[in-house]
Structure 1
Amino acid sequence: MLLALATAFALSQAWRTVAAIMATPLAAEFKLSAHSLGLFAGTFHFAFGAMQLFMGIGIDLHGVRRTVLLAFPIAIAGSLLSALASSYSALIWGQVLIGIGCAPAFLVCTVFIARHFPAGRFAAISGITLGLGGTGMLLTGTPLAWLVQVSSWRLGFVLLALLATLSWLLIWWLVHEPEDDNPAMRQPARETLGQALRGFGALFLIPHTWGIVMLASVSYAAFITLRGLWLGPMLIERLDFSLVQSGHVALVMSLASLLGSPLFGWLDPGAGRRRRWILGFSLLVSILFALIAVTQNLLVGILVPVVIGLLSGFIVLQYADVRSAYSSAITGRAMAMLTMAMFLGVAVMQWLTGAIASLAISQNVEPYIAVLASIAALLAVGALGFALLPKPIDKT
């Protein structure tokens, strides 16, 4: 069942990273600025993140299966709308629909793991699931670059819609929650929507929530903003790569991220040392972004993104940290809160870096210096908040 759920997560990973390969042809066809490209890439993540609250409540009230089966067709419709888009506004609406439809894709996996596996195995199983889901990013490396180069970007959206339809059918066929695990089938009376909303809001009254949210809003965003938006244009414009050559680097970076998630899940040091690891790797990734910001070198331009892809696996430790930081009664909502912070963070970072790139160009500054340095700074600020704000008491 978890593997079937992971197929939807893999498709959401593919959709959220298409901009890295499609940015150049989209900019050419619709005459888009760097700011417009940032908005295009960020719209998916804004819709995805904004819906986490409702998806978390939906899972609590109606179960994993019903929630994902109702939502995912919206993503398929959005992908088809994008393929047929004749204007920039239609592209944006397509991204909104894809983001809404994909909103429960990873959340259902984390809730399923939290309900069906021991707490001590949460990081390891989540790492494997992140790795499996990350295979979707392989589609938006060399394969998508080749498809776009020999045909068009529109066919890429059509292909993702077809694959998503197969994923929906697989989930419908294989995922069936036991009665005890499906809130929609439980007696006594279910929680009302108002009670659920108040329960979600109460998370933000807990002091240690804010440090978790500060880092969550920039950690995944840094990786996805590079892999999902700026990697292709940076390699093409800085190092004179072709679209397919930049796709090769994106593919290797994605492969590294697939290894990173299960690796960090396996290496999880436990609640006592986990937060120090999270802080340390956040700062290390910040330094690597600063390095590629100021170094326009072929070796650095290829190797450092791959290393960032590998180190992005430390994000699985953030999910394990949340699993330990809140009581089991609110695990689903705590996971939804973390996922919401991560993907709203991606939306803001992609929009912000698009604005920064446009400003840099207007001031005759190399845009990738400004973009990558700003990501490094945001990571450092998030790590500082995580380190200095109140820490949780282990609830494992």
Structure 2
Amino acid sequence: MLLALTSAFTLSQAFRTVAAIMGPPLAQELALSNQQLGLWAAAFHFSFGIMQLVFGVTIDVFGVRRTILAAFPVAILGAVVSALAPGFQVLLLGQVLIGTGCSPAFLVCTVFIARHFGPERFTPTSGLIMSLSGLGVLLTATPLAAMIEISSWRWSFGVLALLGIAAWLAIFWRVRERSLGAHSVQAPIARPQLKQAFGGLLDLFRLPHTAGLVLYAAVAYAGFITLRGLWLGPVLIERHGLTLVQSGNVALLVTLGSMLSPAVFGRIDPGGERRVHWLIGFSLAAATLLMGMALTHSLWLDVALPIVYGLLSGYGLLQYGYVHGAYPAAARGRALSLFTMAMFLGISLMQWLSGLAATLAPAAGLDPLSAALATMSLMLVLGGLAFWKLPRAPGEPVQTPPTRQ
């Protein structure tokens, strides 16, 4: 069942990283500026993030299976709309639909793991699922570049739509939810009413450690996915003159590292305060890698540093262990949805701001790509500082959110 759910998350990973390879030919055909390209990439993550609030509640109320089966056809429709888009506005609509439909894809996996696996297996299993889902990112490296050169970016969206249909059918066929308690490691939990679930989501903000988590989550994954999913192709093609397939080959190496990384970090998760130190330290290391790309124009560094970033990118998985331990079981679906919302709204913000920086840079006499990378680096530093300075989750037992009267 978990593998069937993972198939939707794998397609979600593919959809969110197409811009790095698809962006240059798409921008050429539709005459898109850097700012429009950044807005197009950000639209997926904005709609993805906003809908986390809704789907976190529907998972708690209606369950994993019904939530993903209802949502994912919207992503398939979005891929079809994108394939047929005559201009930027329709292309943007397609991205919004894709982001909306993909929104619960990883959330249903994490909630399923939390309900059916012991606490000690949560982070390793989540890491394994993230590594497997990297096949979707792999698809948007050399294979996507070759497909675009042979056909076009429109056919690429069509292929993703067909793969989305296959994933939906696999979930419909394989996933059968049982009531919690019968086949679960958790004690039985009564499903809340819709109004109670939304109220409980707002109650999470009353806990002091929520703010630091949200600010950190907004940049941790955003740094890697904005580089891999938006700027890696332009850096290699525009700065160094590589071909689409050559840049796809570099993206392939970056992706292979990012596929291995979550499984490794899931195994070596130190837990407790050491986990917090790791999260802060790795965010600063990622910021250093991005700033290195911003300040140097060396081909070998622009190839090597993203590969290193891919190998380190799995550190973001440690946040899921942090969230799992920071909130009670009854609110975990909503807590994970809040965390995921922050993560993907952060990606949307970083992609938009980096695109804006690239657009404004020439007027200030700066290199557009360097400005985009430096902006990303600064955001990572600020997120790490926020997580360090703001209150963090207490140790076990987990603090329960205050309830509404």
SS in 1 for 2:208: coil
Identity rate, percent: 53
**Gap runs ≥5 in structure 1:** none
- Larger deviation, residues 360-369 vs 80-89: 360-369
Deviations 1:68-100 (A, max 9, x none): 001000000000000001111000000010001
CA distance in 2, matches of 1:60, 1:156: 35
CA distance in 1, matches of 2:334, 2:2: 19
Structure 1 match to 2:50: 50
Structure 1 match to 2:347: 346
The alpha carbon displacement at 1:378 in A equals 0.6
Question: Is the 8 Å Cα contact of residues 212 and 387 (structure 2) preserved in structure 1?
Answer: yes
Question: Is the 8 Å Cα contact of residues 189 and 330 (structure 2) preserved in structure 1?
Answer: no
Structure 2 match to 1:276: 277
The alpha carbon displacement at 1:363 in A equals 2.9
Structure 2 match to 1:123: 123
Structure 2 match to 1:391: 392
Distance 1:181 1:305, change over 3 A: farther
Question: Is the 8 Å Cα contact of residues 77 and 97 (structure 2) preserved in structure 1?
Answer: yes
* In the alignment, structure 1 residue 69 sits paired with structure 2 residue 85: no
Map 1:172-187; keep pairs closer than 5 Å: 172-180=172-180
Structure 1 match to 2:102: 102
Paired amino acid for 2:78: G
Question: Is the 8 Å Cα contact of residues 353 and 375 (structure 2) preserved in structure 1?
Answer: no
Paired positions, count: 392
TM-score normalized by structure 1?
A: 0.97
Map 1:209-358; keep pairs closer than 5 Å: 209-358=210-359
Structure 1 match to 2:209: 208
CA distance in 1, matches of 2:192, 2:118: 26
CA distance in 1, matches of 2:273, 2:58: 33
SS in 2 for 1:180: coil
Paired amino acid for 1:233: P
**Gap runs ≥5 in structure 2:** 183-187, 398-405
Deviations 1:217-246 (A, max 9, x none): 001111111000000011001111101101
Structure 2 match to 1:29: 29
The alpha carbon displacement at 1:29 in A equals 1.0
* In the alignment, structure 1 residue 370 sits paired with structure 2 residue 368: no
Paired amino acid for 1:255: L
The alpha carbon displacement at 1:205 in A equals 1.2
SS in 2 for 1:179: coil
CA distance in 1, matches of 2:189, 2:302: 58
The alpha carbon displacement at 1:329 in A equals 1.6
The alpha carbon displacement at 1:190 in A equals 4.9
Structure 2 match to 1:16: 16
TM-score normalized by structure 2?
A: 0.95
Structure 2 match to 1:170: 170
CA distance in 1, matches of 2:323, 2:395: 9
Distance 1:205 1:189, change over 3 A: closer
The alpha carbon displacement at 1:272 in A equals 3.8
Deviations 1:300-329 (A, max 9, x none): 110100111111100110110111111112
SS in 2 for 1:269: coil
Distance 1:172 1:364, change over 3 A: same
CA distance in 2, matches of 1:189, 1:228: 40
CA distance in 2, matches of 1:194, 1:226: 39
Deviations 1:230-272 (A, max 9, x none): 0001100111110110101111111100000000001111224
Question: Is the 8 Å Cα contact of residues 60 and 191 (structure 2) preserved in structure 1?
Answer: no
Paired amino acid for 1:296: H
The alpha carbon displacement at 1:189 in A equals 7.9
